[in-house]
Every structure is written in structure tokens, then in C-alpha cells.
Structure 1
Amino acid sequence: MARLVMILLGVDYLRTRWRGLLWLGWVSVVLGVVAFVDALDNAIYFPMTPFALVLLLEGLATLVVARSGIGGQRTLRQVKGVSFCFAALLILAGHHHGHFVLSMIFATLFLADGLLQIVSARVVRFRTWRLAMAVGVFEILVAIFFYQPYPTHYVGTVPYCLGLGLIFGGWNLLLLASRLRRLDHNPGMDAADAVPAATAPTLHPASDAPDLKLWDGPPGPDEHALTVHVWTPVGSARGEARRQPLVDRYIAAVDRDGVISTGHAALESPEGIYISLYPAEEIDRSPDEFTRILRATRENDVAGKFQPDYQTEAAAWCPSTVQVRIRNYDPGRLRRFWDAYRQDTTYNLTYRNCSSTVSHALEAALEGASARVWRQVRGWRPLWRLLATPELWVAAQIRKRAKTMAWTPGLTLDYARALSMLADPRPSGWASMTRMALGQMRRQRQDWREAAQRAEAGQGAQAGNVASAANAGNAGSAGSAGSARPRGND
């Protein structure tokens, strides 16, 4: 996650705050260790019930405002709300059953992630595969710790999880601070922009906030935006694909004839850049050879070629299945990446394929995207907003999984969608509900003022009519009295 934060906020913003990040990292690690050690005996001082109530309120509030999200944002917030509410109810249930179920859930998640990481590292053999296997073994040990009842008979599950979360979060902050300390400049800003500033996308805020630019949805067809094209394995299969949940979404699809389709990914910019790496000669993707060519080793390197443009590739194959469009990108950084990357046409099915190429290009184009969105905001607020955005954590997990396995079109699609929510931030549920509430309050006050003004005007008119009637009555009485007096004298 540290690398992703550096990409989105940029080194210029973070470099001046590396000391603060260092202190925050150490504080988080120390608090995590204290919470974890406190849960090792039966005398747990962690406030379980208040924590569960806060978790439940946050989950309910997230579910209430989830409908204000758009597409994947709405789904992500619904998942978050349900997860928070479920965990809070298990904590409030207390006794043995609630803690036991929660412990089994966390243990299974750690076990599954550790096993997946070990297997993928063993098969793919990327550059740091031994380190990835060590991390996988550590996750399995954590899973075993959660599975067995010692030492608190599952009562310390929540403090354990909170402590581990603080420790891992603090460790990420320490890594980020150490990297920033060693950097004296932003490598992405060494050269001048290759694209004139006039061609850069203009940011049009969708809200009236002076310091934050928000959009209500994805770019329209006529808007200046970067496009990520994805051909899913199922959508690009030559024949009818045999449905295999998750496998045909993230790895490959197999048609009725046994031919494997892994899909494809490409990136297109309005400045004329089209990035689409493909093997110069078709790779044998039969089931017998597919396991061998999955290894990220030099013997599996083949010659590759870059497609000229989307129209040519779509005409020769088929139109892309899904497109993800992003407004807020830097065409200069994308141009510099492309000029350097296209010098090497090597293709490897695992570590240098179409999906990894698009993901790296996307990261280059979005460097400093959050800093551009919040360029008028000072202090730590941009960092806190970024860390509090669920899409950041989703993007970090996708990036981690792709680095330890391989970039696939399915992972690239999810990664691009998550980054689009970070580069082109939509109004969050709380922001939308707050604006709606404030707008409704303003309209009510305006209606009350108009009603009061109408009432005052009506009372004034009624008072004028009464006064006119009274004057007329007084005048009539005076005339009658004048005519009666002479008769009395006579």
C-alpha cells in the first residue's frame, strides 16, 4: 500500500511529511503490540462493547448511505456495511459462540490467503518468490493461532485482530517514511512534460466545494479521458466457454474444444498513445503446456509486438468487452513511460504481458492524481481522505495479489476501476447525505421566510382594509349626525 500512496499523492506532497509519517508509524506499531499483548491473558482491558457499538453504527450508516454510490462504489460500501454489522453482532453476542465464529472467520481468511500466496509463488517463480512464500507461511501461522483456543479460549479475538491491524498499518507507514527519506526529488518530474499543458485534461468540479473536485459519475463519451480496454477471458473466447466461477473471471476461460483464452488488456489516451502488448507469434496455450509457460523465467520470454491502435486491433479480433475511463491523468508522465517502455518488445505470459503493461502505464499516468484533485488543500487532509477511502485498500490488495501471482485482464479491470474512484473521486455517502440535508434545510428556511413574508403582507392588507372600513364608517356617522342637528333646532 505504501507504493500506491506514493503514486497517488506524489513524492512532492509526501516528502515534506516523512517525519510525521515516521512518528505515526511507530505509534501505530506500539499501540498494536500493546493491544495484542493485553489480549494474551484472561484480564482483557480492551473496551469490547463500546468498540462493537461504534462498529455497528458505522456499518448501519454505511448501509444507509450506500445507495448514494455509483456502480462498484455502491457494491463496495454495501459489502463493508454488512461486514461491519456482522462482526459487531458477533462481538455483542459475546460468550463463547460469537468469539468462536469470529475467530474461525479470520483464521480461514488468513489460511486461504497464505496458501494461495505460497502456491502462486511456487508456480510462477517471480523475482521475489521466496519472500512471498515466507509471508505466506507467516499468514498460515497466524491462522493456526486463531484456530486454536489457547490462551484466552477465543475471547481475545477482537484485540488480536485490532492489534495486528495497527501493527501492519504502522509497518506500512514506516516503509513509506523510509522510502520518502531516501528520495530527494520526484523521479517522475525529472523531464519536462512531453505534452503541452493545453492538451492536459481540464478538471471540472461537480460540487461547489472550493478545495475538492468531485464528479457524479464516469466520464461521458465526449469527455477528455484515458481509456482502459479489457477483453475478458469469457468475452474473447473463440467458442462457447465452459463457465468456471472466479477462474474464468481472473485467470482463463476454456471453450468446448479445450482451447484456453486468457483475455487481453490495452490502454488508449486522447493524445494518440495506444499501449497493447501481444506476442509476435501465438503462444501454445494447450492445457499440457500452460503450466510450464506460467513461470516468470527467462526461458519463457518470447518476442512481442505493440498493436498500432484500437481500431486495428478491434477489427482484427473483436471489440473490447469492458472499458474504464479516467479524467484525471497526466499525459506527460504517460508519454515518458511509453517512450521508454516500448524500446523493449519482450513478452512473458506472467511478468511482462498485456495486463502488467497496462497496469504499469496506468500507474505512470495517475502519478500525483490525488494531489492534483486536492491541490488547494493544505496539511494532512489529502492523506487522511485517501487512507479513509475503501477503494485504496481494494486497489492495494489487488496490486499485492497481482505482484505475487501475475497481472491478468480480470485483475487489471478491477484495479483500473478502483484507481478511477481514487483519481476521479465521487461524492462519498456521507458527503452526499450531508449536502442533501443542508440543501433541504436551506429550502425549508427559504419556505418559512416566504410564508412569513406572505403572512405579514396578508396581515398588512387586512389591517389596511379594516382601517379603510373604519374610516368609511366614521365618515358615514358624521354625515348622519350633521343632518339630524338642524331638525333638532327646528
Structure 2
Amino acid sequence: MVRLVMILLGVDYLRARWRPLMTVGWISVIVGIGIFIDALDNALYFPITPFALLLLAEGLATLAVAWTGMGGQRTLRYVKGAAFSTAALLILAGHHHGNFILSLIFGTLFLADGLLQIVSAKVVRFRTWRLAMAGGIVEIALAIFFYQPFPTWYVGTVPYCLGLGLMFGGWNMILLAARVRRLAANPAVEREAAAQVASATPRARQRHGNVEWDGPPAADEPALTVHVWTPVGSSKSEARRQLIVDRYIAAVDRNGVISTGHAALESPEGIYISLYPGVEIDRSPDDFTRLLRATPENDVPGVFQPDYATESKAWCPSTVQVRIRNYDPERLRRFWEAYRQDATYNLTHRNCSSTVSRALEAAIEGASARVWQRMGGWRPFVRVLTTPELWVAAQIRKRATTMAWTPGLTLDYARALSMLADPRPSGWVKMARLALKRMYRSRQRWREEEKAAAEGRNPEPADTAGNEV
């Protein structure tokens, strides 16, 4: 998550605030340790009932406005609201059963994540795979801690989780502050930042006046486009549906042909990023494990496609497109000029999806700071941290970097980042707008009815599709 926050807010914004970030991080770690230690005996000083009531209020409030979201945003709000409400009800249920169920849920989540991280790191062997395996072992140890009843017979489950959350969150904030502090002393970074400001495009400067957009870019609106050919959508024949597998890994059609999908990125400035293997990769089952390793012996020559029109004509149109307004064309151009110098292709380490994801990160660097700069101070930072899509994007990025980027993961990642780069109005704001719009329409209808009654004629049917005010 540290990397994502740096991308979205930009080093310039965070560099000026590294001392408060470091202070808040240490406070969070210390408070988390205190809450965790307090939960080790049966005498809890942590206000568990007020915390559960706040959690329940947040969950119900999220469910109340979830319907105002669009697409994946709506689903995410429902999931968050349901999770918060369920956890709060289990806490309020108290006694042995509620705490026991919570312990099983948290323990299972830690166990599944730890096992998946260890197995994927062992198979893929990316650069920091040993560190990832150590993290997986820690998660399994935490799962065992939640499963076993001692020392509080599950009474301390919630304080344990809150303490761990504060400790991990504080540690991430310390890492973030340490990174931007080191960058503050790098003159090359300062020169680059000055050059970026001087070379900012008129469109980038114009975007600064916008704070939120109520929906994705219009079809005729210039925007960065992430093209994704899903495994099912790009299959030549009807695919055999396999839950999760055909969404994130590969689809197999009725003739036994495997389709893994594809991803590409296109900008209005004419940049098109689409990496293909230049030679056919042997995907026989005997060598499957070896091929998944992100090691140099699996590198093959690659080729970059010229443009979307050529690629879609030779194959088929992309299945899904994710469009983003708030991006930096200059950063994307510099990334592309450097990246295209090496056309190496690796099935898990440097493929079409990882290339698009890296280009997307380069393009939206500093997007949240640009779009929320009118708020000033710490509000952009708080707004980013409290946006659910940040946590979703962080989990997707973690899975992809420890396993492999696939078109399905790139699609979900681009959707989450689009909600951060082009933020939508909060659910309460949208509900207020709808309420005002309905009130306005009702008043208009009442006036028409009163006028019709005074003139002795029937009122015309009300227009229910009116424009928002």
C-alpha cells in the first residue's frame, strides 16, 4: 500500500509532510502494541461495545448509500457494509459464540493468504520471493494464534485485530515517511520535479479545477484507455465456464483451445503499449512449473504492437475498456520511451498485463494530489486512505506481484485506480443531490397542477427524466 499512496499523492506532496507522517506512524504502532497487550488477559480496558456500535453505524450507513454507486463501486460498498455490520453484530452478541466465529474468520483469512503467498513465491521465484515467504509464515503464525483459545478464550479477538491493524498501518506509514525523506535529499528528483511542473500540459493544469466526476468519461472525451481482452471474451469458440479460473487465469473452449487474454494501454496522444511474445512459448504440462518462474532463463524476445486499430483488426476488439481522465501525458511518455528500449517478454515477470499496469501507475502518478489540491493540508491524504478502492487496489497489486499479472487482475486494478484518479461523489452527496432533484420536480409538478386547476384543465404528465440541478 505504501507504493500506491506514493503513486497517487506523488513524492512532492508527501515529501513536505514526512515528519508528521513519521510521528503519526510511531503513535499508531505504540497504541497498537498497547491494545494488543491489553487483550492478552481477561481484563479488557478497551471499550469494545462503543467500538462495535461505531462499526455497526458505519456498516449500516454504507449499505444505505451503496445503491448510489456505479458498477464495481456499488458492489464494493455492499461488501464493505455487510462485512462491517456482520462483524459488529458478532461483537455485540458477545460471549463465546460471537468471539469464536470472529476468531475462525480472521484465522482462516490469515491462513489462506499466508499459504497462497508461500506457494506462489516458491513457484514464481520473483526477486523478493524469500521475503514474501517469510511474510506468509508470519501470517500462518497469526492464524494459529487466532485459532487456539488461549490466553483469553477468544474474548480478545477484536482488540487483537485492532491492535494488529494499528501496528501494521503505523509501520506502513513509517516506511512511507522514510522513503519520501530519502527522496527529499536527492537533487535529481528535485530537478525532475521542477521539469515536470514546467512541462505540464494545458490539459493537466486544467484538470486541477475538478474535484469529482459523476461517472466515467464520455465516449467523445479524451481519456487514457486500458484495453482488456478477457480469456472468455477472446476465446475463438464458446468457452467452458470455470469459476475464477476463466476470470483470472485462462479459459478453455469446447475444442480444447486455451485463451489467456491480453491487455494494452492507449492514450489520446498516440501512445499505444501492447507487448506480445515474439516467439511461441511452449506451454506443455511437463515444463509448466519451470515456465512460471520469473527468472532470466524464461525470457524470450517480445514485440510491441503498433496501435489498437492494427491489433484489433488482426485479432478482435477488446472485451472491456477502462477510461481515466486524470493522468499525466508527460510521465507516460517518459515511461514509454524508457520501457520500449527493452522488448524482453517473460510469462510471469514481464508480460502484457504487467507492462500495462506499470504504464498505468506511471500515468496516474500524483493524480489524487492534483484532483484534491483545493482541499489543502492533510485532507487529500485522508481522502485517499479512506477510499475503499485503495485497499482493493493494494490487495490486487500484492497478489499480482507475488504471483503474476494477468488480464483479469489488470482489469480489476485499472477499475480500482480509476475510482482514485477520477473520484466520484460520496454516497451521501449523491443522495442529497437526488433528494433535492426530487423535491424540485415535485414542486414543479405541484405548480403545474395548481395552474391547471385554476385554468380548469387537466395537468400534463410529469417529466420524470428531467435534468439534475
Q: Is the 8 A contact 2:272 2:307 kept in 1?
A: yes
- Is the aligned partner of 1:248 residue 2:277? no
- Asked if 1:430 corresponds to 2:413, the answer is no
Q: Distance in 2 between matches of 1:175 and 1:403?
A: 19
8 Å contact from structure 2 (residues 204, 326) kept in 1:
no
| Residue identity in the other structure for 2:326 | N
User: What SS class does the counterpart of residue 207 from structure 2 fall into?
Assistant: coil
How many angstroms apart in 2 are the aligned matches of 1:66 and 1:204? 28
Structure 2 segments unaligned to the other structure (5+ residues): 448-469
Instruction: Tell me, yes or no, if the aligned pair for 1:194 and 1:332 is still in contact at 8 Å.
Output: no
Residue 345 (structure 1) aligned to one of 315, 319, 343: 343
CA deviation vs aligned residue, 1:265-296 (integer Å, no higher than 9, x gap): 00000000000000012222343333321110
Task: Give 1:106-185 correspondences, 5 Å limit.
Answer: 106-184=106-184, 185=189
2-structure distance, mates of 1:442, 1:150: 60
Taking the TM superposition and a 5 Å limit, the aligned residue runs for 1:407-418 are 407-418=405-416
Alignment of 1:64-75 (within 5 A): 64-75=64-75
Deviation, 1:49, is 1.1
Q: How does 1:12-91 map to 2 (within 5 A)?
A: 12-91=12-91
Q: CA deviation at 1:201?
A: 8.2
The DSSP-based 3-state class of the residue aligned with 1:305 is: strand
SS of equivalent to 2:175 = helix
The residue that corresponds to 1:224 in the other structure is 222
What is the aligned partner in structure 2 of residue 266 from structure 1? Answer: 264
Return the alpha-carbon distance in structure 2 between the equivalents of residues 235 and 288 of structure 1: 28
Q: 1:177 to 1:375 in 2, by over 3 A?
A: same
Q: Which residue of 1 aligns with 2:368?
A: 370
From 197, 201, 204, the equivalent of 2:201 is: 197
Deviation at 1:242, TM superposition (A): 2.3
Describe the shift of the 1:54–1:27 C-alpha distance in structure 2 as closer, same or farther (beyond 3 A): same
Note the C-alpha offset of 1:250.
1.1
Aligned length: 442
Q: Match of 2:462?
A: none
Give the partner amino acid of 2:94. G
**DSSP-derived class of the 1:97 partner:** helix
Kindly provide the CA deviation profile for residues 271-323 of structure 1, in whole angstroms up to 9, marking residues without a partner as x. 00000000012222343333321110111000000000001111111111110
Task: Tell me how far 1:377 sits from its aligned partner.
Answer: 2.2
Deviations 1:83-113 (A, max 9, x none): 0110011011111110000110000000000
Q: Counterpart of 2:193 in structure 1: which amino acid?
A: M
Provide the rounded CA distance (Å) in 2 between the counterparts of 1:187 and 1:261: 45
What corresponds to 1:473 in structure 2? none
Equivalent residue for 2:234, pick from 236, 246, 255: 236
The question of 1:312 aligning with 2:310 is answered yes
Query: Structure 1 residue 259: deviation in Å?
Result: 3.4
Distance 1:160 1:115 in 2: 21
1:230-287 CA distances to partner (integer Å, 9 max, x unpaired)?
Answer: 0111112233322221111111222334433221100000000000000012222343
SS in 2 for 1:228: strand
Counterpart for residue 454 of structure 1 = none
Query: Cα gap change, 1:442/1:357 in structure 2, threshold over 3 Å: closer, same or farther?
Result: same
Q: Shift of the alpha carbon at 1:420?
A: 0.2
Which whole-Å CA distance do the structure 2 matches of 1:199 and 1:427 have between them? 22
Structure 1 gap ranges (5+):
206-211, 451-490
Give the distance between the partners of 2:230 and 2:32, measured in 1 at CA: 41
**Letter matched to residue 377 of structure 2:** G
> Do the aligned residues in 1 keep the contact of 2:9 with 2:368 (CA within 8 Å)?
yes
Note the aligned Cα RMSD (angstroms).
2.3
Higher radius of gyration, 1 or 2: 1
Q: Take 2:136 and 2:91, find their aligned partners in 1: how far apart are those partners?
A: 28
- Could you tell me whether the CA contact under 8 Å between 1:194 and 1:335 is conserved in 2? no
Q: Matches of 1:73 and 1:332 in 2, distance apart? A: 29
Distance 1:188 1:230 in 2: 32
Q: Which residue of 1 aligns with 2:379?
A: 381
Answer with 134-143 or 65-74: which moved more: 65-74
**Aligned CA distance change for structure 1 residues 399 and 187 (closer, same or farther; 3 Å):** farther
Whole-angstrom distance in 2 between the partners of 1:289 and 1:235: 27
Native 8 Å contact 1:260 1:287 kept in 2: no
Partner of 2:274: 276
- Equivalent pair of 1:193/1:333 in contact (CA under 8 Å): no
Task: Give 1:291's aligned amino acid.
Answer: T
Task: Report the CA distance shift for 1:51/1:85 in structure 2 as closer, same or farther (over 3 A).
Answer: same
Query: CA separation of 1:247/1:187 partners in 2, compared to 1, >3 Å: closer, same or farther?
Result: farther
For the 8 Å contact 1:10–1:186, the answer to whether it is kept is no
Q: If the length of structure 1 is used for normalisation, what is the TM-score?
A: 0.86
Distance in 1 of aligned mates of 2:310 and 2:437: 49
